[in-house]
Amino acid sequence: MKRIIETELAIMWLEDDILFFIWKEGMTIDLSGAKKTVARRMLLQQGKPYRILCNINGVSHIEKEAWHFLSGEGAELVEELVLVAATPLEVVFSKYISTRMRSVPIKVFPNMETARKYLSQHR
């Protein structure tokens, strides 16, 4: 049975040794929300690093403090990060993440299907 965790900002679950993480549509992410969401992700991971498929489609704004947290302390237990970014704003978000999280391999894809295919082929 798939264990799904939902917060006010995101939905996440484990499947085939991949942590799927979907930010909800139209979200503005502040530092408090980022910390709460990462805490829930840590509970799901139970101390084990995972490759994470993160869909940032629909995120409308991320506050500067939240950016710093998510790309620093919030990146704990991230083995690899695969981002789904389709719009120009999402691509900018993904480039920022890529420059801040240098210790984690990061790939960016335009849709979930392509990202998922990459992860299934590169175990």
For the chain, give every domain's residue range: 4-121
Does residue 88 have a pLDDT over 80? Answer: yes
How confident is the model over 94-121, as a mean pLDDT?
90
Whose tokens are 């991971």? That residue is 45
18 forms beta bridges with: 15, 51
Q: What are the residues whose beta carbons fall under 8 Å from the beta carbon of 100, sequence distance 6 or more?
A: 67, 68, 71, 72
Higher pLDDT, 27 or 13: 13
Rounded to an integer, what is the distance from CA 47 to the centroid of its chain?
Answer: 17
Mean pLDDT of the chain: 92
Name the band, by pLDDT with cuts 50, 70 and 90, for residue 1. Answer: low
Higher pLDDT, 58 or 33: 33
Alpha carbons 118 and 75: distance in angstroms, whole number: 21
Return the CATH superfamily for domain 4-121. Answer: STAS domain (3.30.750.24)
Angle (deg, nearest 10), helices 64-71 and 88-100? 50
Rounded to an integer, what is the distance from CA 18 to the centroid of its chain?
Answer: 11
Name the band, by pLDDT with cuts 50, 70 and 90, for residue 30. Answer: very high
Burial of 74 (0-12, 13-18, 19+ CB in 10 A): buried
The pLDDT, as a whole number, for residue 71 is 87
